[in-house]
Amino acid sequence: MKQGKLTLRENHRRSLTSALTMVEQMLVETEELLCVPKNYCCFEVDNDIRSDYKDFNLEIIGKAREQICKLAEKYSTGKQRQSLKKSINTKKTKIWEILCDVKSRRQKGFGEFPKEMIKEYDNDIDELMALTEKIKIN
| Rounded distance between C-alpha atoms, residue 8 and residue 78, angstroms | 12
pLDDT at 121: 95
Alpha helices in 75-108 (DSSP H): 84-101
* Cα 102 to Cα 93, 112, 125, distances in angstroms: 14, 13, 8
pLDDT at 81: 87
**Phi and psi at residue 39, to the nearest 5°:** -105, 105
For the entire predicted model, the pTM comes to 0.74
| Rounded distance between C-alpha atoms, residue 102 and residue 105, angstroms | 8
Alpha helices in 36-113 (DSSP H): 51-74, 84-101
Burial 77-88 (b: 16+ CB within 10 A, else e): beeeeeeeeeee
Given a contact cutoff of 8 angstroms between Cβ atoms, the answer to whether 63 and 8 are in contact is no
| Rounded distance between C-alpha atoms, residue 64 and residue 70, angstroms | 10
Given a contact cutoff of 8 angstroms between Cβ atoms, the answer to whether 75 and 13 are in contact is yes
Given a contact cutoff of 8 angstroms between Cβ atoms, the answer to whether 80 and 13 are in contact is no
pLDDT at 79: 85
Q: Is the dihedral of CA 12, 13, 16, 17 positive or negative?
A: negative
pLDDT in tens, the chain (138 residues): 556 788 888 888 888 899 999 999 999 999 998 987 777 888 888 889 998 999 999 999 999 999 999 999 999 998 888 899 999 999 999 999 999 999 999 988 888 999 999 999 999 999 999 999 999 988
